[in-house]
């Protein structure tokens, strides 16, 4: 095991240092890049970057070779390629990552149903109930790491601790391909040397405020009185900082289904203020979201539109429909209404997104019929489009508003 003061031996089978450490944080190592490596074995030995390739593309994942050149996620692609010109760049392949993510989550759920996915490549587990069957938390962590490696040919890092907060810090500290147990007795020794930015919920602003108070490490925060923290940061944040700096975090692991929502967004190559163009993009995104809803057998009730202005300020607006839907036409109607109501027509936008939340299995999405409505409608038309797409490919059929005009078209 890699401990805070270097490498220490793993606890033996008799050790009970992990006795009360039932929370595991599993974090896939350079996940998107790892999946691309598997799909493109010819890139062996070369750095891999996944991200947008347009003029405004950003890095969403970089493998450890690329990272050694200083590339990290959220960095503009142009800069990443200056640092690491030999890198092989892949545009993100959402469906492939989701497929692998599902397989990894399935491994985790075979250990315990108490799995809380945080994102495609990250999850918390509460293994209290699995110990009798599978052994101590550290043994379970080893088991998970072995199965992910053997079944998915990918590596992950696992943090083991008594709380979510410490488990997550532990997995970060032992990356890549690591396993770190932070026994409760050593939480303080582990936490206190870390910078304040490691505390959950401390962003740039809070970090600056803490630094102004002369607090640079978690230990510094732990040594000042909770009253002072409350005074400086208000009751909620002050109390949280005090609790976290002592390793206290009572958030439970909440098992959730992985799909809480399905969405798609688009960053324009150039800012757009033409409502006609925005409408077409909303339609294209609605079609995409609806197709994914239908493919996954789900329907949702809440439509969310995300609009990012040229200056990066972002607003989201949502509308809950009377009934769940998986029909692009209905999603698009709500999305257009939200865009119109947001008052951003003629404002230059950098990004638009459409998302459907409140998902449930389509088999439970009953439909209140309305008077005089035809027996078959857009739902059936869109299902027919799905069938055409399956047979002839994604470009075979689309709404006329999205069709590209042929050169010799009049």
Partner 1 sequence: MKFRVERDVLADAVAWTARSLPVRPSVPVLAGMLLDATEDDGGRRLKLSSFDYEVSAQVSVEIDVEEPGTTLVSGRLLAEITRNLPPQTVEISTDGAKVTVACGSAKFTLLTLPVEDYPTLPAMPQMTGSIGSDAFAAAVSQVAVAAGRDDTLPMLTGVRVEIEGDTVTLASTDRYRLAVRELAWKPENPDVSAVALVPAKTLADTAKSLTGGAEVSIALSAADSGEGMIGFEGGGRRTTTRLLDGEFPKYRALLPDTFNSVAEVQRAEFIEAVKRVSLVAERNTPLRLAFGDGRLVLEAGTGDEAQAVEVLDSSLEGEDIQIAFNSAFLLDGLTAIDSDIARLQFTTSTKPAIITGKPADDGATADYRYLIMPVRLSG
Where in the sequence numbering do the catalytic residues fall?
122
Identify the residue among 362, 388, 398, 399 touching partner 1 (CB under 8 A).
362
Going from the C-alpha of 115 to that of each of 31, 125, 257, the distances in angstroms are: 19, 5, 9
Tokens of 304: 């969310």
Minimum distance between the CB of residue 385 and partner 1, rounded to whole angstroms? 19
Does 400 contact partner 1 by CB under 8 A?
no
CB nearer partner 1, residue 53 or residue 320 = 320
198 forms part of the interface with partner 1 (CB under 8 A): no
Q: What is the DSSP letter of 130?
A: G
- Binding part of the chain for partner 1, among 41-49, 103-111, 162-170, 317-325 by CB under 8 A, reads 317-325
DSSP string, 89-113: EE---HHHHHHHHHHHHHHHHHH-S
Rounded distance between C-alpha atoms, residue 36 and residue 119, angstroms: 18
Binding mask 34-73 for partner 1 (x = CB under 8 A): ----------------------------------------
Nearer to partner 1, 185 or 363 (CB): 363
Which pairing describes strands 2-3 and 88-90: parallel, antiparallel, or unpaired? Answer: unpaired
Residue 311 counted as an annotated binding residue: no
Helix or strand (DSSP H, E) at 31: helix 31-39
- Residue pair 192/77 in contact by the 8 Å Cβ criterion: no
| Residue whose CB is less far from partner 1, 41 or 322 | 322
Closer CB to partner 1, residue 220 or residue 259?
A: 259
Identified binder of partner 1 from the candidate list 225, 313, 368, 408, rule CB under 8 A? 368
203 touches partner 1 by CB under 8 A: no
Does the annotation list 27 as a binding residue?
A: yes
Find the radius of gyration of the CA atoms of the chain: 24
Reference 54, options 325, 269, 353; nearest CA is 269
Q: Is 374 in the site for partner 1 (CB under 8 A)?
A: no
Instruction: Decide: is 366 part of the binding site for partner 1 (CB under 8 A).
Output: yes
Q: Can you tell me the distance from the alpha carbon of 394 to that of 397, in angstroms, rounded to the nearest whole number?
A: 7
281: left (phi over 0), alpha (psi -120 to 50) or beta: alpha
Decide if residue 323 touches partner 1 (CB under 8 A).
yes
Q: Using CB under 8 A as the criterion, what x/- string covers residues 283-312 for binding partner 1? A: ------------------------------
Binding site for partner 1 (CB under 8 A): 322-324, 362-372, 375
- Annotated binding-site residue numbers for Mg(2+): 27, 121
């Amino acid at each position: 095991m890699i401990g805070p003061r270097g490498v220490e031996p793993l606890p033996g089978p008799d050790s009970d240092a992990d006795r009360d450490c039932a929370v595991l944080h599993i974090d896939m190592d350079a996940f998107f890049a790892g999946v691309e490596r598997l799909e493109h074995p010819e890139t062996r030995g070369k750095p891999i970057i996944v991200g947008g390739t347009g003029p405004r593309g950003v890095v969403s994942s970089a493998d450890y070779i690329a990272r050694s050149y200083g590339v990290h996620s959220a960095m503009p692609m142009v800069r990443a390629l200056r640092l690491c010109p030999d890198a092989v760049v892949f545009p993100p392949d959402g469906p492939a990552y989701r497929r692998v993510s599902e397989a990894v989550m399935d491994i985790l759920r075979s250990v315990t149903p108490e799995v809380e996915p945080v994102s495609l490549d990250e999850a918390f587990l509460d293994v209290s109930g699995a110990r009798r069957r599978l052994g101590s938390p550290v043994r379970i962590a080893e088991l998970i790491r072995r199965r992910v490696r053997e079944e998915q040919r990918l590596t992950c890092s696992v943090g083991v601790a008594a709380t979510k907060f410490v488990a997550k810090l532990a997995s970060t500290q032992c990356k890549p391909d690591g396993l770190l147990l932070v026994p409760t007795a050593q939480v303080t020794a582990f936490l206190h040397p870390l910078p304040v930015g490691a505390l959950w919920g401390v962003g740039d602003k809070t970090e600056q405020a803490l630094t102004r108070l002369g607090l640079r490490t978690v230990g510094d925060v732990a040594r000042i009185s909770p009253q002072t923290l409350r005074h400086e940061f208000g009751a909620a944040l002050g109390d949280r900082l005090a609790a976290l700096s002592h390793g206290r975090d009572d958030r439970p692991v909440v098992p959730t289904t992985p799909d809480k929502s399905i969405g798609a967004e688009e960053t324009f190559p150039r800012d757009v203020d033409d409502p006609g163009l925005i409408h077409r993009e909303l339609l294209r995104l609605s079609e995409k979201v609806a197709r994914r809803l239908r493919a996954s057998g789900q329907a949702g009730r809440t439509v969310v539109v995300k609009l990012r202005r040229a200056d990066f300020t972002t607003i989201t607006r949502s509308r809950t429909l009377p009934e769940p839907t998986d029909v692009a036409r209905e999603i698009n109607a709500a999305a257009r209404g939200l865009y119109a109501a947001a008052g951003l027509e003629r404002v230059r936008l950098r990004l638009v997104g459409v998302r459907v939340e409140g998902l449930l299995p389509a088999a439970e999405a009953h439909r209140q019929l309305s008077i005089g409505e035809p027996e078959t409608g857009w739902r059936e038309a869109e299902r027919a489009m799905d069938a055409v797409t399956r047979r002839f490919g994604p470009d075979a059929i689309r709404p006329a508003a999205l069709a590209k005009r042929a050169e010799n078209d009049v």
